[in-house]
Amino acid sequence: MARKLNFQLIDRPTFFGALGLLISTVVPLLLFPKEGAEWIAIAKSFMTDKLGFLYLGLGVAAFFFMIYIVFSDIGQIKLGDPDEAPEFKTASWAAMLFCGGIGASILYWGAIEWAYYYQSPPFQLEPGSEEAVRWAATYGIFHWGPIAWSIYLVPALPIAYFFYVRKQPVLKVSAALMPVIGEARSHGWVGKLVDVLFIFGLLGGGATTLGLAAPLITEGVNYLFGVPKTTETQVVVLLVCTAIFAYSAYAGMEKGIKLLSNINFWGALGLLAFILICGPTIFMLETGLDSLGRMLSNFFVMATWAEPFGGYGSFADTHFPQDWTIFYWAWWLVFAP
């Protein structure tokens, strides 16, 4: 009876619409992998090269919008009933935000991202130079900093508001758009289309995250246990990760996401403390402080640089903002709600 009831609660048009769109996209990619890789490359090039300025503008706008929200009356609205006590402790809530927002990705990119910037630096700098290594550390902080979290919050806040304050029964992007498209369209085919496209984009973003994490986990398993680094191993890693994520979502916030987030948070904090204490402590602290200052001094230059002169005259076309900043902003936007 419970299973039947749970199935009845599924929004079938949205579920099967997203499933159909996913199958119609994945099957051709599996049948024609070479052509599929070319199609994806063309789509990525169009989004980053032709529409990149929109993503950069979105990042700056989101940053200022969130500053306004924080200091305005809107920022004082409580997500819940006025007399309702917080469901989770602050530490657990912070752990869920950190682990759900950047947990897996920061472990991967935090260790190697600076090396990519060092080898292919921004601003026409010479690869491997002293200036390149300074900017390499700076951009790592920038891409995971205030603008990224501002992009997260732009769609997340209205969704949370309609769910916790206006008491909408489900967490949907279409519900958050109700003041813009109207209640009738929100519950009609326009809202369904919005939700289907969002789920499809979310699955694509999730596939990107898992695709980046699988080689890292496989490498670690090979180093610790001698398991061969094969495609089959990566598939097993993906299945295990997917099963863990699916269970945490199914188990709910208290028994699933909160538990995993607390484990991940304290594990990451312990790893960070170990590296800080056993590693070159002074060097890391000085590098972090120097990078933070450099980012604050050049924040808006980094936020708006689209390399408009790349490829013209003597200017080299590094493609840095398209490959990194714009890609990151699009990635953050996909996972925002």
Q: Which amino acid is at 279?
A: G
For residue 1, the model assigns a pLDDT of 44
For residue 282, the model assigns a pLDDT of 93
- Please report where in the chains the tokens 């902080």 appear, as a residue: 141
The rounded average pLDDT for each run of 10 residues, N- to C-terminus, in the chain (337 residues) is 54 84 85 85 87 93 94 86 79 74 71 88 90 92 91 86 78 78 82 85 73 78 85 83 76 70 79 89 92 95 90 79 92 76
In this prediction the pTM is: 0.81
For residue 5, the model assigns a pLDDT of 47
- Please report where in the chains the tokens 């190697």 appear, as a residue: 112
Among 190, 98, 156, smallest CA distance to 334 is for 156
For residue 150, the model assigns a pLDDT of 92
For residues 92-111, one letter each, b for 16 or more C-beta atoms within 10 angstroms of the residue's C-beta and e for the rest, the string is beebbebbebbbbbbbebee
Among 178, 157, 171, smallest CA distance to 199 is for 171
Answer for the pair 207, 200: CB distance below 8 angstroms, yes or no. Answer: no
What is the sign, positive or negative, of the torsion defined by CA atoms of 141, 325, 53, 181? negative
For residue 31, the model assigns a pLDDT of 86
Answer for the pair 182, 98: CB distance below 8 angstroms, yes or no. Answer: no
For residue 289, the model assigns a pLDDT of 94
For residue 21, the model assigns a pLDDT of 87
Among 113, 77, 72, smallest CA distance to 324 is for 113
For residue 253, the model assigns a pLDDT of 65
Gap between the Cα atoms of 244 and 106, Å rounded: 19
For residue 131, the model assigns a pLDDT of 92
For residue 55, the model assigns a pLDDT of 94
Q: Which pLDDT tens digit goes with each residue over 65-82?
A: 999 999 998 888 888 888
